[in-house]
Amino acid sequence: RTFQPVDARWLVNNLSAALRRHGSMQHLFARHLAPQAKHVGPAIQGFSETLLQIDPQTPARLRKHLARPEAGSACKRLAMYLRWMVRGGPVDFGQWKTIRPAQLLVPLDTHSGRTARRLGLIQGRKSNDWKAALQLTRRCRRLCPRDPARYDFALFGAGVSGADLAERFSLSEAASSAR
């Protein structure tokens, strides 16, 4: 809706320059992530900052298109992209090996957020922001330490369809101990 042709040109030019410098998207993300990092937040922040630094004349209106954890964004699209590239399985490519599934964030949007709140996986946060995404991921990590993002599709699907999983499942106890 707010992405204009000039924005697309800027993004493609900066992605192209970043790929020439770093060789691949995997290397660009991974260079900002310590091997023992708990989550991909630093990689997402580093990716966005790298693109913004390529052209120091980047207008402020274009900066809004790059999600950054430090700005409080849930970074849903970048978290989802990383999920696709890192996880293996029927809906994910699983091509990247430098980032572990345990480091992924659960992509958070209005649908998955609604379901997560009903299940008690997000508490005390009204907006779907960075802190809510971290809380959801920590609680999903408690359920599956090796791959917390595995719950993304189920949370999203239940939220879109309006299914009330809270009637059938109670995760509050397991999730709340993951504070």
* AA letter at 157: G
Q: What sign has the CA pseudo-torsion 170, 173, 177, 179?
A: positive
| Percent of the chain residues topping a pLDDT of 90 | 71
Residue 76, pLDDT score:
97
Q: At residue 94, does pLDDT exceed 80?
A: yes
103 and 33 in contact (C-beta within 8 Å)? yes
Reference 32, options 45, 22, 19, 13; nearest CA is 45
Whole-angstrom distance, CA of residue 162 vs CA of residue 134: 23
Task: List, in order, residues 6 or more apart from 48 with CB less than 8 Å away.
Answer: 66, 67, 68, 78
Whole-angstrom distance, CA of residue 81 vs CA of residue 23: 18
pTM: 0.88
104 and 145 in contact (C-beta within 8 Å)? no
Residue 177, pLDDT score:
56
Residue 100, pLDDT score:
98
CA distances, 112 to each of 3, 8, 149 (Å):
24, 28, 12
